[in-house]
A and B are shown apart, each in its own frame.
Chain A
């Protein structure tokens, strides 16, 4: 008779290893043999995790087709078993996994699509702390350059060599024109939340460079230098004003 820790380890091992015969031996034969009864759990685990992935990655699923997505999910689940009791934490490595998945090698844009969908998912569930304008007002202007703003947990940046936004829109339910010119060029995207909706905004090179630097912890001075290097006509004041209005920046951790 196995101890409970042994039984649980055997159970999980047998879910991921269809050839494992050790575990069903501990299952009482009922109306069906133990191995068949255990198979119900194996199916349920893979069905529910595949469903969770499909809920986060509907565009990837649409692009590869439901049948291939199930095959992809099966491979992904075995490589990246969930490590949290909160299902919303599951699936973040799909972009990386797709990049190394030989069967998808002919579709090099898929990892970026997955990155965009994961960003959408995280932004949807993230807290979005308000930018503290009053705290900023208390800082003498000559010290602005040393400030470090952060990117809100409710905002993410994506850069791609492909027209991601067009791909995303063409694969939404009810989309009319589903033709996308994959050679149309890359883009820099901001994924953020306005009220209760996730939205996308195309960023100019300077805007992207600024937000990217701020996200990585640069001071406002260094971030604006990076932005000016990316775009000589970058307008720092206009960009900051717009980003604060969109709620994509935080200063609560740096000014309090």
Chain B
């Protein structure tokens, strides 16, 4: 590939404690041409495993903005062996992009070699906890760096789950040394779907382990006898999610916060507007880190 920014020209690595946006293909050229002020960019790691134009655009943008990598395909919660090819691709991308943060999900997406391209829920049992801790450890050892693990949104729970999700995440972080990515929209969606208390969830997550926050919009599937919230990343952040975000920031302090928007992608200006709203919340006084 051509036009790789010399490493000296790269933006310094750390992701700043302000808002950023998910980088999507329709915005590559506008971002490069206008270089609007924004805190940082996050990409889906797998979209850059190839060595074509997407990686070229990312490397050009990397010269101007900090970048974090967010994986959706590692299938950490699977009982299949970890996919070494996927890990090697991720490690090569990390070496090339020098991301400030690297994250994946508390979920599984494959078994028996079949991938469902979805973030599927784990049962929260001692068996699944031990497996997930071991797999995060294996991935972190292979990559030689810390992973952040994100809480999923979910539409079902299992009969035999025994551990509340926030405690499950806390134990993963404690035992594997990984960090956590708190997706506030996912907390809201799952709390609404399963009827748990989102604020209590926020209080249970180990504050010191959380190093990034995600915000996104959800859709509502309405039925004659009720509704289900679906985590579609296709709209603006909903008002109650902004309220929950404010509560999260008050407890956790200022953290890098991503606006995710992955389907029905809007004009860049809309993403930047959402980003500025997140920055406004981060800049309100009286957060934990100012006290």
Residues of A within 8 A of B (CB): 1-5, 7-9, 11-12, 15, 26-28, 30-32, 34, 37-38, 40-41, 44-45, 48-49, 51-52, 81-88, 90, 123-128, 154, 193, 195-197
Contacts and interface: CB of A to CB of B under 8 A. Distances in A.
17 contacts: A4-B123, A5-B111, A7-B123, A8-B111, A26-B159, A27-B157, A31-B195, A40-B155, A41-B118, A83-B115, A85-B115, A124-B52, A124-B53, A126-B51, A128-B1, A195-B2, A196-B52
Q: Of residues B50, B110, B223, B226, which shows the largest number of chain A Cβ atoms within 10 Å of its Cβ?
A: B50
Given A5-B111, A7-B123, A45 B230 contact: no
Contacts of B131: 4
B157 A88 contact: no
B158 A26 contact: yes
A193 B118 CA distance: 31
Contacts of A9: 111-112
Contact of B79 (A4, A34, A44): A4
Interface string B102-125: 000000111111111110101101
A199 to B, nearest CB: 12
Across the A-B interface, give the 8 residue pairs with the lowest CB-CB distance, nearest first.
Answer: A85-B73, A125-B50, A127-B51, A8-B111, A196-B53, A37-B156, A5-B79, A82-B115
B84 to A, nearest CB: 11
A40 B156 contact: yes
B230 A40 contact: yes
Contact of A85 (B1, B110, B225): B110
B111 A11 contact: yes
B229 to A, nearest CB: 10
A86 B109 CA distance: 11
A34 B194 CA distance: 12
B46 interface: yes
Contacts of B49: 86, 88
Given A30-B194, A85-B73, A123-B52, 14 more contacts: A12-B111, A12-B112, A28-B159, A30-B156, A45-B116, A82-B117, A83-B115, A84-B73, A87-B73, A124-B50, A124-B52, A125-B51, A125-B52, A128-B52
A31 B78 CA distance: 27
B160 A1 contact: yes
Contacts of B193: 30-31
A38 B128 CA distance: 20
Interface size class of B (residues with CB under 8 A): 35 or more
A31 B226 contact: yes
Contacts of A45: 116-118
B116 A196 contact: no
B83 interface: yes
B146 interface: no
A1 B110 CA distance: 21
Contacts of B53: 124, 193, 196-197
Nearest to A124: B52
A12 B108 CA distance: 11
B108 A126 contact: no
Given A41-B120, A85-B75, A85-B109, A126 B50 contact: yes
B166 to A, nearest CB: 18
B89 interface: yes
A85 B46 contact: yes
A5 to B, nearest CB: 4
B74 interface: yes
Given A4-B125, A4-B128, A28-B156, A85 B118 contact: no
A49 B83 CA distance: 20
Contacts of A123: 52
Contacts of B2: 195
Given A124-B53, A125-B50, A125-B51, A87 B117 contact: yes
Given A11-B111, A82-B116, A125-B51, A30 B195 contact: yes
Interface in B208-267: 221, 223, 225-226, 228, 230, 263
A85 B108 CA distance: 11
